[in-house]
Chain A
Amino acid sequence: MSEGTFVQTRVTVARDDEFSDYMAARQPAMLRLAYALTGESASAEDLVQVAFAKLYLSWDRVREREALDGYLRRILLNEHHSLWRRPWRRRERVTETLPEAAVTDSYDDGERGELWRLVQTLPPRQRSVIVLRYYEQLSEAEIAQTLGISPGTVKSQASKALANLRGHAHTLGDAS
Protein backbone atom coordinates (compact mmCIF):
# COMPACT_ATOMS: atom_id res chain seq x y z
CA MET A 1 0.00 0.00 0.00
CA SER A 2 1.46 3.34 -1.00
CA GLU A 3 1.56 6.23 1.45
CA GLY A 4 -1.08 8.05 -0.57
CA THR A 5 -3.44 5.10 -0.41
CA PHE A 6 -2.83 4.73 3.33
CA VAL A 7 -3.69 8.38 3.97
CA GLN A 8 -6.83 8.10 1.83
CA THR A 9 -7.93 5.01 3.77
CA ARG A 10 -7.45 6.79 7.09
CA VAL A 11 -9.51 9.72 5.86
CA THR A 12 -12.28 7.40 4.68
CA VAL A 13 -12.38 5.57 8.01
CA ALA A 14 -12.54 8.83 9.94
CA ARG A 15 -15.28 10.06 7.63
CA ASP A 16 -17.33 6.90 8.10
CA ASP A 17 -16.86 7.00 11.87
CA GLU A 18 -18.11 10.56 11.95
CA PHE A 19 -21.11 9.67 9.82
CA SER A 20 -21.86 6.63 11.96
CA ASP A 21 -21.84 8.72 15.12
CA TYR A 22 -24.18 11.26 13.60
CA MET A 23 -26.51 8.59 12.29
CA ALA A 24 -26.62 6.80 15.64
CA ALA A 25 -27.52 10.04 17.37
CA ARG A 26 -30.16 11.26 14.91
CA GLN A 27 -31.75 8.15 13.50
CA PRO A 28 -34.37 7.60 16.23
CA ALA A 29 -35.70 11.14 15.86
CA MET A 30 -35.71 10.91 12.07
CA LEU A 31 -37.59 7.61 12.19
CA ARG A 32 -40.27 9.19 14.35
CA LEU A 33 -40.53 12.20 12.05
CA ALA A 34 -40.81 9.91 9.02
CA TYR A 35 -43.49 7.90 10.80
CA ALA A 36 -45.47 11.06 11.52
CA LEU A 37 -45.28 11.90 7.80
CA THR A 38 -46.06 8.48 6.36
CA GLY A 39 -48.20 6.88 9.05
CA GLU A 40 -46.63 3.47 8.58
CA SER A 41 -43.46 1.83 9.86
CA ALA A 42 -42.14 0.26 6.66
CA SER A 43 -42.44 3.46 4.65
CA ALA A 44 -40.89 5.47 7.45
CA GLU A 45 -37.91 3.13 7.71
CA ASP A 46 -37.37 3.19 3.95
CA LEU A 47 -37.63 6.96 3.84
CA VAL A 48 -35.03 7.33 6.58
CA GLN A 49 -32.64 4.93 4.89
CA VAL A 50 -32.80 6.88 1.64
CA ALA A 51 -32.38 10.20 3.46
CA PHE A 52 -29.28 9.02 5.34
CA ALA A 53 -27.89 7.44 2.16
CA LYS A 54 -28.20 10.73 0.27
CA LEU A 55 -26.63 12.57 3.18
CA TYR A 56 -23.79 10.05 3.19
CA LEU A 57 -23.11 10.72 -0.47
CA SER A 58 -22.73 14.45 0.24
CA TRP A 59 -21.08 14.12 3.65
CA ASP A 60 -17.66 15.48 2.61
CA ARG A 61 -19.16 18.70 1.32
CA VAL A 62 -20.96 19.75 4.48
CA ARG A 63 -18.63 22.11 6.28
CA GLU A 64 -20.91 23.28 9.07
CA ARG A 65 -22.05 20.27 11.00
CA GLU A 66 -24.65 22.37 12.81
CA ALA A 67 -26.61 22.50 9.58
CA LEU A 68 -26.83 18.72 9.22
CA ASP A 69 -30.23 18.32 10.87
CA GLY A 70 -31.74 20.83 8.48
CA TYR A 71 -30.22 19.14 5.44
CA LEU A 72 -31.35 15.73 6.55
CA ARG A 73 -34.86 16.91 7.31
CA ARG A 74 -35.14 18.54 3.90
CA ILE A 75 -33.86 15.46 2.07
CA LEU A 76 -36.41 13.38 3.96
CA LEU A 77 -39.27 15.73 3.10
CA ASN A 78 -38.25 15.95 -0.55
CA GLU A 79 -38.05 12.20 -0.86
CA HIS A 80 -41.43 11.87 0.83
CA HIS A 81 -43.00 14.27 -1.67
CA SER A 82 -41.32 12.52 -4.59
CA LEU A 83 -42.83 9.24 -3.50
CA TRP A 84 -46.26 10.79 -3.72
CA ARG A 85 -45.70 11.46 -7.38
CA ARG A 86 -45.09 7.82 -8.15
CA PRO A 87 -48.44 6.37 -9.13
CA TRP A 88 -47.76 2.94 -7.70
CA ARG A 89 -47.16 4.43 -4.27
CA ARG A 90 -50.52 6.12 -4.13
CA ARG A 91 -52.36 3.36 -2.35
CA GLU A 92 -53.58 5.78 0.22
CA ARG A 93 -56.18 8.24 -0.98
CA VAL A 94 -56.18 11.78 0.25
CA THR A 95 -59.11 14.09 -0.03
CA GLU A 96 -59.90 17.68 0.61
CA THR A 97 -63.07 16.49 2.27
CA LEU A 98 -62.00 14.62 5.34
CA PRO A 99 -64.12 11.70 6.48
CA GLU A 100 -66.56 12.28 9.28
CA ALA A 101 -64.86 11.69 12.59
CA ALA A 102 -65.92 8.46 14.16
CA VAL A 103 -67.60 8.61 17.52
CA THR A 104 -64.83 8.36 20.07
CA ASP A 105 -64.66 8.01 23.76
CA SER A 106 -63.42 10.85 25.88
CA TYR A 107 -60.18 9.19 26.91
CA ASP A 108 -56.94 10.72 25.74
CA ASP A 109 -55.97 7.74 23.59
CA GLY A 110 -59.24 7.98 21.70
CA GLU A 111 -58.74 11.65 21.01
CA ARG A 112 -55.11 11.16 20.09
CA GLY A 113 -55.94 8.28 17.81
CA GLU A 114 -58.66 10.21 16.05
CA LEU A 115 -56.46 13.27 15.54
CA TRP A 116 -53.65 11.08 14.23
CA ARG A 117 -56.02 9.45 11.76
CA LEU A 118 -57.30 12.80 10.54
CA VAL A 119 -53.75 14.14 10.05
CA GLN A 120 -52.94 11.10 7.93
CA THR A 121 -55.83 11.91 5.58
CA LEU A 122 -54.53 15.43 4.85
CA PRO A 123 -52.99 16.10 1.42
CA PRO A 124 -49.19 15.57 1.57
CA ARG A 125 -48.22 19.23 1.56
CA GLN A 126 -50.68 20.18 4.30
CA ARG A 127 -49.61 17.13 6.28
CA SER A 128 -45.95 18.10 5.98
CA VAL A 129 -46.68 21.60 7.24
CA ILE A 130 -48.71 20.27 10.18
CA VAL A 131 -46.07 17.70 11.14
CA LEU A 132 -43.23 20.21 10.92
CA ARG A 133 -45.20 22.74 12.96
CA TYR A 134 -46.79 20.57 15.63
CA TYR A 135 -44.38 17.66 15.80
CA GLU A 136 -41.02 19.21 14.96
CA GLN A 137 -42.08 22.55 16.52
CA LEU A 138 -40.53 24.53 13.65
CA SER A 139 -41.38 28.15 13.03
CA GLU A 140 -43.11 29.25 9.83
CA ALA A 141 -39.80 30.58 8.52
CA GLU A 142 -38.05 27.28 9.24
CA ILE A 143 -40.84 25.31 7.58
CA ALA A 144 -40.62 27.59 4.55
CA GLN A 145 -36.89 26.90 4.30
CA THR A 146 -37.35 23.18 4.70
CA LEU A 147 -40.06 22.90 2.05
CA GLY A 148 -38.64 25.58 -0.23
CA ILE A 149 -41.83 27.62 -0.25
CA SER A 150 -42.77 31.08 0.95
CA PRO A 151 -43.76 31.77 4.57
CA GLY A 152 -47.09 32.99 3.22
CA THR A 153 -47.75 29.62 1.63
CA VAL A 154 -46.81 27.90 4.88
CA LYS A 155 -49.29 30.10 6.71
CA SER A 156 -52.10 29.47 4.22
CA GLN A 157 -51.47 25.72 4.10
CA ALA A 158 -51.41 25.49 7.90
CA SER A 159 -54.58 27.51 8.14
CA LYS A 160 -56.41 25.28 5.67
CA ALA A 161 -55.18 22.14 7.34
CA LEU A 162 -56.19 23.30 10.79
CA ALA A 163 -59.61 24.36 9.56
CA ASN A 164 -59.99 20.98 7.92
CA LEU A 165 -58.97 19.16 11.06
CA ARG A 166 -61.11 21.29 13.34
CA GLY A 167 -64.12 20.82 11.13
CA HIS A 168 -63.90 17.08 11.51
CA ALA A 169 -62.78 16.88 15.08
CA HIS A 170 -65.93 18.32 16.59
CA THR A 171 -66.51 15.18 18.56
CA LEU A 172 -63.21 15.62 20.36
CA GLY A 173 -64.37 18.21 22.78
CA ASP A 174 -62.67 21.58 22.41
CA ALA A 175 -62.05 22.03 18.70
CA SER A 176 -61.83 25.76 18.90
Chain B
Amino acid sequence: MNTDFERKLSDALHHRARSADLTPHHVSDVRGRATGIRRRRAALTVAGVAAVLAAGVPTGLAASDLLGPREPTIANPVPPMPVTEVVVVGTDAPAGEAPGIAWLDGGTVHLADGSVFTPEGPHAYRALAVVGDRVLASWVDEDTGMWTIDDLSEPGTSFSARSAPMGESSDGVAAWVDADGGVVVATEDGETSLDLGPAPQVLSVDAAGLWFAPEGDSGAVRRVALDGVGGTTPLDVVTVKDSTSDLVTATTSVDNLEPGSCGALFEGTTRRWETCEHTLEDIAPGGDWVLGTDAYLDGIGQSSVNILDVTDGSVQVSFEMEDGVFVDRVWEDDSHALVLAYSWADQTWQVVRLGLDGSAEEALGSRPGVDTEPPFALTR
Protein backbone atom coordinates (compact mmCIF):
# COMPACT_ATOMS: atom_id res chain seq x y z
CA MET B 1 0.00 0.00 0.00
CA ASN B 2 2.36 2.64 -1.25
CA THR B 3 0.36 5.66 -2.27
CA ASP B 4 -2.52 7.69 -1.05
CA PHE B 5 -4.46 6.55 -4.09
CA GLU B 6 -4.02 2.91 -3.15
CA ARG B 7 -5.14 3.66 0.41
CA LYS B 8 -8.22 5.41 -0.94
CA LEU B 9 -8.89 2.44 -3.18
CA SER B 10 -8.65 0.03 -0.26
CA ASP B 11 -10.86 2.26 1.85
CA ALA B 12 -13.47 2.51 -0.89
CA LEU B 13 -13.68 -1.27 -1.29
CA HIS B 14 -13.93 -1.88 2.45
CA HIS B 15 -16.46 0.87 3.04
CA ARG B 16 -18.77 -0.27 0.24
CA ALA B 17 -18.49 -3.97 1.08
CA ARG B 18 -19.19 -3.30 4.77
CA SER B 19 -22.29 -1.27 4.00
CA ALA B 20 -23.78 -3.77 1.53
CA ASP B 21 -27.12 -5.31 2.43
CA LEU B 22 -26.33 -9.02 2.16
CA THR B 23 -28.48 -11.94 3.31
CA PRO B 24 -26.59 -14.94 4.70
CA HIS B 25 -27.60 -18.46 3.74
CA HIS B 26 -28.71 -21.12 6.17
CA VAL B 27 -26.57 -24.23 6.12
CA SER B 28 -29.56 -26.26 4.93
CA ASP B 29 -29.72 -24.09 1.80
CA VAL B 30 -26.08 -24.83 1.12
CA ARG B 31 -26.56 -28.56 1.64
CA GLY B 32 -29.49 -28.44 -0.78
CA ARG B 33 -27.38 -26.62 -3.35
CA ALA B 34 -24.63 -29.20 -2.86
CA THR B 35 -27.09 -31.98 -3.53
CA GLY B 36 -28.14 -30.26 -6.73
CA ILE B 37 -24.54 -29.87 -7.82
CA ARG B 38 -23.86 -33.52 -7.14
CA ARG B 39 -26.91 -34.58 -9.12
CA ARG B 40 -26.04 -32.36 -12.01
CA ARG B 41 -22.33 -32.97 -12.11
CA ALA B 42 -22.36 -32.60 -15.84
CA ALA B 43 -23.12 -28.92 -15.53
CA LEU B 44 -20.02 -28.35 -13.44
CA THR B 45 -17.58 -28.53 -16.28
CA VAL B 46 -19.63 -27.55 -19.28
CA ALA B 47 -19.75 -23.89 -18.42
CA GLY B 48 -16.11 -23.51 -17.55
CA VAL B 49 -13.96 -22.53 -20.49
CA ALA B 50 -10.63 -21.77 -19.07
CA ALA B 51 -7.65 -22.90 -17.31
CA VAL B 52 -4.99 -23.22 -14.75
CA LEU B 53 -3.21 -26.13 -13.16
CA ALA B 54 -2.18 -29.26 -15.00
CA ALA B 55 1.55 -28.89 -15.12
CA GLY B 56 2.09 -26.53 -12.23
CA VAL B 57 -0.11 -26.95 -9.22
CA PRO B 58 0.44 -23.93 -7.02
CA THR B 59 2.47 -24.87 -4.00
CA GLY B 60 1.00 -24.73 -0.53
CA LEU B 61 -2.61 -23.98 -1.28
CA ALA B 62 -3.06 -26.89 -3.64
CA ALA B 63 -0.58 -29.26 -2.12
CA SER B 64 -1.95 -32.75 -2.38
CA ASP B 65 -0.61 -33.69 1.04
CA LEU B 66 -3.25 -31.48 2.60
CA LEU B 67 -6.00 -33.53 1.07
CA GLY B 68 -7.33 -37.01 1.27
CA PRO B 69 -7.10 -39.46 -1.61
CA ARG B 70 -8.32 -38.28 -4.99
CA GLU B 71 -11.13 -40.05 -6.67
CA PRO B 72 -11.46 -42.11 -8.63
CA THR B 73 -8.48 -44.40 -8.58
CA ILE B 74 -7.16 -44.68 -12.10
CA ALA B 75 -7.70 -48.17 -13.38
CA ASN B 76 -6.03 -47.81 -16.76
CA PRO B 77 -3.69 -44.85 -16.63
CA VAL B 78 -1.82 -43.69 -19.68
CA PRO B 79 1.65 -45.24 -19.87
CA PRO B 80 4.76 -43.31 -18.79
CA MET B 81 5.47 -40.74 -21.43
CA PRO B 82 8.73 -39.48 -22.83
CA VAL B 83 9.51 -35.86 -22.12
CA THR B 84 7.73 -33.84 -24.76
CA GLU B 85 9.00 -30.56 -26.04
CA VAL B 86 6.71 -27.70 -25.14
CA VAL B 87 6.13 -25.11 -27.84
CA VAL B 88 5.53 -21.63 -26.43
CA VAL B 89 3.00 -19.67 -28.47
CA GLY B 90 3.26 -15.89 -28.51
CA THR B 91 1.66 -13.04 -30.39
CA ASP B 92 4.68 -13.00 -32.69
CA ALA B 93 3.78 -16.31 -34.38
CA PRO B 94 4.34 -16.09 -38.15
CA ALA B 95 1.33 -15.31 -40.30
CA GLY B 96 -0.31 -18.25 -42.07
CA GLU B 97 -3.39 -19.01 -44.13
CA ALA B 98 -6.85 -18.05 -42.92
CA PRO B 99 -8.78 -20.87 -41.19
CA GLY B 100 -9.94 -23.76 -43.33
CA ILE B 101 -13.20 -23.95 -41.39
CA ALA B 102 -16.04 -21.48 -41.01
CA TRP B 103 -15.72 -18.74 -38.41
CA LEU B 104 -17.35 -15.58 -37.16
CA ASP B 105 -15.51 -12.28 -37.05
CA GLY B 106 -17.80 -9.87 -35.29
CA GLY B 107 -20.94 -9.87 -37.40
CA THR B 108 -19.25 -11.26 -40.49
CA VAL B 109 -19.55 -14.90 -41.51
CA HIS B 110 -16.55 -16.54 -43.17
CA LEU B 111 -17.08 -19.94 -44.77
CA ALA B 112 -14.48 -22.57 -45.49
CA ASP B 113 -14.76 -22.01 -49.25
CA GLY B 114 -13.59 -18.42 -48.79
CA SER B 115 -16.97 -16.75 -49.22
CA VAL B 116 -17.73 -13.91 -46.84
CA PHE B 117 -20.99 -12.20 -46.05
CA THR B 118 -22.45 -9.95 -43.42
CA PRO B 119 -26.03 -10.82 -42.47
CA GLU B 120 -28.44 -7.95 -42.12
CA GLY B 121 -30.07 -7.46 -38.78
CA PRO B 122 -29.47 -5.87 -35.43
CA HIS B 123 -28.08 -8.85 -33.57
CA ALA B 124 -24.47 -9.77 -32.90
CA TYR B 125 -23.97 -13.45 -33.63
CA ARG B 126 -22.08 -15.41 -31.00
CA ALA B 127 -21.98 -18.90 -32.49
CA LEU B 128 -21.91 -20.51 -35.90
CA ALA B 129 -22.66 -24.04 -37.08
CA VAL B 130 -22.39 -25.34 -40.63
CA VAL B 131 -24.59 -28.28 -41.60
CA GLY B 132 -23.98 -29.21 -45.21
CA ASP B 133 -25.03 -26.13 -47.15
CA ARG B 134 -26.89 -24.70 -44.19
CA VAL B 135 -25.31 -21.95 -42.10
CA LEU B 136 -26.80 -21.56 -38.63
CA ALA B 137 -25.82 -18.37 -36.82
CA SER B 138 -26.93 -17.77 -33.25
CA TRP B 139 -27.37 -14.79 -30.97
CA VAL B 140 -28.41 -14.65 -27.34
CA ASP B 141 -30.86 -12.41 -25.52
CA GLU B 142 -28.77 -11.41 -22.53
CA ASP B 143 -31.82 -10.62 -20.41
CA THR B 144 -33.47 -14.02 -20.81
CA GLY B 145 -30.56 -16.27 -21.77
CA MET B 146 -32.60 -17.57 -24.71
CA TRP B 147 -30.87 -18.13 -28.04
CA THR B 148 -32.18 -17.43 -31.53
CA ILE B 149 -30.74 -19.54 -34.32
CA ASP B 150 -31.02 -17.93 -37.75
CA ASP B 151 -30.75 -20.18 -40.78
CA LEU B 152 -28.78 -17.83 -43.02
CA SER B 153 -29.30 -20.16 -45.97
CA GLU B 154 -33.03 -19.58 -45.74
CA PRO B 155 -33.59 -15.96 -44.69
CA GLY B 156 -36.56 -15.64 -42.41
CA THR B 157 -36.14 -19.09 -40.89
CA SER B 158 -35.25 -18.96 -37.21
CA PHE B 159 -35.42 -21.25 -34.19
CA SER B 160 -35.81 -20.30 -30.53
CA ALA B 161 -33.51 -22.31 -28.29
CA ARG B 162 -32.19 -22.67 -24.77
CA SER B 163 -28.70 -23.30 -26.08
CA ALA B 164 -26.57 -22.48 -29.09
CA PRO B 165 -26.33 -25.36 -31.59
CA MET B 166 -23.84 -28.08 -30.79
CA GLY B 167 -22.52 -28.72 -34.28
CA GLU B 168 -20.24 -31.14 -36.03
CA SER B 169 -19.70 -29.81 -39.52
CA SER B 170 -17.68 -32.81 -40.70
CA ASP B 171 -20.65 -35.01 -39.86
CA GLY B 172 -23.23 -32.58 -41.25
CA VAL B 173 -25.28 -32.42 -38.07
CA ALA B 174 -26.09 -29.98 -35.27
CA ALA B 175 -28.35 -30.21 -32.23
CA TRP B 176 -29.84 -27.85 -29.68
CA VAL B 177 -32.48 -27.69 -26.95
CA ASP B 178 -35.54 -25.77 -28.10
CA ALA B 179 -37.60 -23.36 -26.03
CA ASP B 180 -39.88 -26.17 -24.83
CA GLY B 181 -37.04 -28.42 -23.72
CA GLY B 182 -37.12 -30.76 -26.71
CA VAL B 183 -33.94 -31.66 -28.55
CA VAL B 184 -33.78 -30.63 -32.20
CA VAL B 185 -31.41 -32.42 -34.56
CA ALA B 186 -30.63 -30.49 -37.74
CA THR B 187 -29.15 -31.97 -40.89
CA GLU B 188 -29.01 -30.73 -44.46
CA ASP B 189 -32.44 -32.25 -45.01
CA GLY B 190 -34.20 -30.48 -42.15
CA GLU B 191 -34.95 -30.89 -38.46
CA THR B 192 -36.20 -33.74 -36.35
CA SER B 193 -37.24 -33.54 -32.70
CA LEU B 194 -36.37 -35.92 -29.91
CA ASP B 195 -38.23 -36.16 -26.61
CA LEU B 196 -35.49 -36.79 -24.06
CA GLY B 197 -37.39 -35.65 -21.00
CA PRO B 198 -37.68 -32.17 -19.56
CA ALA B 199 -34.79 -29.81 -20.34
CA PRO B 200 -31.92 -32.14 -21.17
CA GLN B 201 -28.50 -30.74 -21.96
CA VAL B 202 -26.91 -31.67 -25.29
CA LEU B 203 -23.25 -32.50 -24.73
CA SER B 204 -22.05 -33.75 -28.11
CA VAL B 205 -23.46 -34.76 -31.46
CA ASP B 206 -22.01 -36.87 -34.27
CA ALA B 207 -23.11 -38.67 -37.41
CA ALA B 208 -24.70 -41.53 -35.51
CA GLY B 209 -26.09 -40.09 -32.32
CA LEU B 210 -25.86 -37.56 -29.53
CA TRP B 211 -24.85 -37.54 -25.89
CA PHE B 212 -27.02 -35.68 -23.41
CA ALA B 213 -27.41 -35.09 -19.68
CA PRO B 214 -31.00 -35.53 -18.55
CA GLU B 215 -32.44 -32.77 -16.39
CA GLY B 216 -32.51 -33.68 -12.71
CA ASP B 217 -30.96 -37.07 -13.30
CA SER B 218 -28.41 -38.46 -10.88
CA GLY B 219 -25.54 -37.57 -13.13
CA ALA B 220 -25.75 -40.34 -15.71
CA VAL B 221 -24.92 -39.19 -19.21
CA ARG B 222 -26.80 -40.97 -21.97
CA ARG B 223 -26.52 -41.56 -25.71
CA VAL B 224 -29.36 -41.77 -28.18
CA ALA B 225 -29.41 -42.42 -31.91
CA LEU B 226 -30.21 -39.39 -34.04
CA ASP B 227 -33.55 -40.91 -35.00
CA GLY B 228 -34.32 -41.66 -31.36
CA VAL B 229 -34.80 -45.36 -32.11
CA GLY B 230 -33.37 -47.98 -29.77
CA GLY B 231 -33.61 -46.23 -26.42
CA THR B 232 -30.69 -44.64 -24.61
CA THR B 233 -27.32 -45.92 -23.43
CA PRO B 234 -25.86 -44.63 -20.13
CA LEU B 235 -22.22 -43.78 -19.45
CA ASP B 236 -21.02 -43.19 -15.90
CA VAL B 237 -19.05 -39.99 -16.42
CA VAL B 238 -19.31 -36.36 -15.38
CA THR B 239 -19.76 -35.09 -18.90
CA VAL B 240 -19.02 -35.99 -22.50
CA LYS B 241 -16.74 -33.54 -24.30
CA ASP B 242 -16.78 -34.89 -27.86
CA SER B 243 -17.81 -37.96 -29.79
CA THR B 244 -17.62 -39.69 -33.13
CA SER B 245 -19.60 -42.71 -34.23
CA ASP B 246 -17.29 -44.96 -32.21
CA LEU B 247 -15.12 -42.79 -29.90
CA VAL B 248 -15.99 -40.63 -26.89
CA THR B 249 -13.93 -38.23 -24.79
CA ALA B 250 -15.34 -37.62 -21.32
CA THR B 251 -14.56 -36.05 -17.99
CA THR B 252 -14.83 -38.77 -15.36
CA SER B 253 -14.26 -36.76 -12.19
CA VAL B 254 -13.79 -33.14 -11.11
CA ASP B 255 -11.91 -32.01 -8.05
CA ASN B 256 -12.51 -28.42 -7.01
CA LEU B 257 -10.07 -28.46 -4.14
CA GLU B 258 -6.85 -30.01 -5.31
CA PRO B 259 -7.89 -28.84 -8.04
CA GLY B 260 -8.05 -31.06 -11.09
CA SER B 261 -10.04 -33.57 -13.06
CA CYS B 262 -9.71 -36.93 -14.73
CA GLY B 263 -10.90 -37.87 -18.18
CA ALA B 264 -11.10 -40.96 -20.32
CA LEU B 265 -11.33 -42.04 -23.91
CA PHE B 266 -14.02 -44.59 -24.61
CA GLU B 267 -14.60 -46.83 -27.58
CA GLY B 268 -18.35 -47.15 -27.49
CA THR B 269 -18.88 -47.49 -23.76
CA THR B 270 -15.60 -49.35 -23.18
CA ARG B 271 -12.91 -47.33 -21.46
CA ARG B 272 -9.65 -47.40 -23.42
CA TRP B 273 -7.48 -45.25 -21.19
CA GLU B 274 -7.77 -42.57 -18.54
CA THR B 275 -5.69 -39.57 -17.52
CA CYS B 276 -5.71 -36.97 -14.78
CA GLU B 277 -3.16 -34.81 -16.60
CA HIS B 278 -5.53 -33.30 -19.13
CA THR B 279 -9.14 -32.43 -19.80
CA LEU B 280 -9.89 -34.40 -22.95
CA GLU B 281 -11.73 -32.52 -25.66
CA ASP B 282 -12.18 -32.71 -29.42
CA ILE B 283 -11.34 -35.81 -31.45
CA ALA B 284 -9.59 -35.15 -34.77
CA PRO B 285 -11.70 -35.78 -37.90
CA GLY B 286 -9.67 -38.86 -38.77
CA GLY B 287 -10.00 -40.27 -35.24
CA ASP B 288 -6.24 -40.49 -34.60
CA TRP B 289 -5.69 -37.59 -32.20
CA VAL B 290 -7.38 -35.92 -29.25
CA LEU B 291 -6.97 -32.41 -27.87
CA GLY B 292 -6.13 -32.26 -24.18
CA THR B 293 -6.14 -29.08 -22.14
CA ASP B 294 -5.44 -28.26 -18.51
CA ALA B 295 -6.93 -30.66 -15.99
CA TYR B 296 -8.80 -27.95 -14.14
CA LEU B 297 -11.19 -25.52 -15.79
CA ASP B 298 -11.37 -22.32 -13.77
CA GLY B 299 -13.40 -20.17 -16.13
CA ILE B 300 -10.54 -18.00 -17.32
CA GLY B 301 -8.88 -19.91 -20.15
CA GLN B 302 -6.48 -22.81 -20.59
CA SER B 303 -2.75 -22.24 -20.40
CA SER B 304 -1.89 -25.34 -22.44
CA VAL B 305 -3.08 -27.37 -25.39
CA ASN B 306 -1.78 -30.87 -25.98
CA ILE B 307 -2.26 -33.22 -28.90
CA LEU B 308 -2.65 -36.78 -27.62
CA ASP B 309 -2.44 -40.10 -29.42
CA VAL B 310 -5.90 -41.63 -29.41
CA THR B 311 -4.50 -45.14 -28.96
CA ASP B 312 -2.90 -44.61 -25.55
CA GLY B 313 -3.12 -40.94 -24.54
CA SER B 314 0.57 -40.27 -25.00
CA VAL B 315 1.46 -36.66 -25.78
CA GLN B 316 2.54 -35.95 -29.35
CA VAL B 317 3.18 -32.25 -28.77
CA SER B 318 2.37 -29.60 -26.15
CA PHE B 319 1.72 -25.90 -26.60
CA GLU B 320 1.68 -23.20 -23.95
CA MET B 321 0.45 -19.65 -24.37
CA GLU B 322 2.98 -17.01 -23.44
CA ASP B 323 1.32 -14.80 -20.80
CA GLY B 324 -2.15 -15.61 -22.02
CA VAL B 325 -4.77 -18.31 -22.45
CA PHE B 326 -6.31 -20.60 -25.04
CA VAL B 327 -10.03 -19.91 -24.82
CA ASP B 328 -11.34 -22.32 -27.47
CA ARG B 329 -9.84 -25.19 -29.45
CA VAL B 330 -11.10 -27.01 -32.54
CA TRP B 331 -9.65 -29.29 -35.20
CA GLU B 332 -9.13 -27.72 -38.60
CA ASP B 333 -8.12 -30.98 -40.27
CA ASP B 334 -6.42 -34.26 -39.32
CA SER B 335 -3.11 -32.63 -38.48
CA HIS B 336 -3.94 -29.06 -37.38
CA ALA B 337 -5.91 -27.51 -34.55
CA LEU B 338 -7.07 -23.91 -34.37
CA VAL B 339 -7.04 -22.17 -31.01
CA LEU B 340 -8.66 -18.92 -29.99
CA ALA B 341 -6.00 -17.24 -27.87
CA TYR B 342 -5.88 -14.15 -25.69
CA SER B 343 -2.67 -12.40 -24.73
CA TRP B 344 -2.78 -10.66 -21.38
CA ALA B 345 0.48 -8.95 -22.19
CA ASP B 346 -0.79 -7.33 -25.40
CA GLN B 347 -4.52 -7.52 -24.58
CA THR B 348 -5.17 -8.91 -28.04
CA TRP B 349 -7.08 -11.84 -29.52
CA GLN B 350 -5.80 -14.09 -32.26
CA VAL B 351 -6.53 -17.47 -33.82
CA VAL B 352 -3.44 -19.67 -33.99
CA ARG B 353 -2.95 -22.84 -36.05
CA LEU B 354 -1.13 -25.57 -34.12
CA GLY B 355 0.39 -28.48 -36.02
CA LEU B 356 1.18 -32.06 -35.10
CA ASP B 357 4.75 -31.18 -36.05
CA GLY B 358 4.91 -28.50 -33.34
CA SER B 359 4.37 -25.60 -35.73
CA ALA B 360 2.41 -22.53 -34.67
CA GLU B 361 1.23 -19.80 -37.00
CA GLU B 362 -1.28 -17.00 -36.82
CA ALA B 363 -4.47 -17.68 -38.77
CA LEU B 364 -6.38 -14.60 -37.59
CA GLY B 365 -5.52 -11.55 -35.54
CA SER B 366 -4.21 -9.80 -33.61
CA ARG B 367 -7.29 -7.91 -32.48
CA PRO B 368 -7.28 -5.62 -29.41
CA GLY B 369 -10.01 -6.31 -26.88
CA VAL B 370 -10.94 -7.34 -23.37
CA ASP B 371 -10.60 -10.94 -22.31
CA THR B 372 -14.34 -11.54 -21.92
CA GLU B 373 -15.32 -10.42 -25.42
CA PRO B 374 -13.67 -12.58 -28.10
CA PRO B 375 -14.13 -11.09 -31.59
CA PHE B 376 -13.87 -14.51 -33.24
CA ALA B 377 -15.95 -17.67 -32.92
CA LEU B 378 -14.81 -20.96 -34.47
CA THR B 379 -17.06 -23.74 -35.72
CA ARG B 380 -16.73 -27.45 -35.18
Contacts and interface: CB of A to CB of B under 8 A. Distances in A.
Contacts of A33: 17
A50 B369 CA distance: 30
Given A35-B22, A94-B370, A166 B5 contact: yes
Contact of A135 (B14, B30, B142, B370): B14
B47 A86 contact: yes
Contacts of A3: none
Nearest to A97: B370
A131 to B, nearest CB: 7
Nearest to B298: A78
A74 B58 CA distance: 12
Contact of A88 (B13, B68, B142, B373): B142
B61 A82 contact: no
Given A56-B34, A58-B257, A85-B47, A36 B4 contact: no
B370 A61 contact: no
A20 interface: yes
Interface residues of A, number: 85
A171 interface: no
B12 A85 contact: no
A57 interface: yes
B21 A41 contact: yes
A171 B34 CA distance: 46
Interface string A165-176: 110010010111
B196 to A, nearest CB: 22
B300 interface: yes
Contact of B18 (A32, A52, A152): A32
Contact of A61 (B18, B68, B145): B68
A124 B141 CA distance: 21
Interface of A: 16, 19-20, 23-24, 27-28, 31-33, 35-36, 41, 44-45, 48-50, 52-58, 60-64, 67, 70-71, 74-75, 77-88, 90-91, 94-96, 108, 111-113, 115-116, 119, 123-125, 130-131, 134-135, 137, 144-149, 152-153, 156-157, 162, 165-166, 169, 172, 174-176
7 contacts: A19-B27, A49-B29, A57-B38, A74-B61, A85-B372, A112-B15, A152-B323
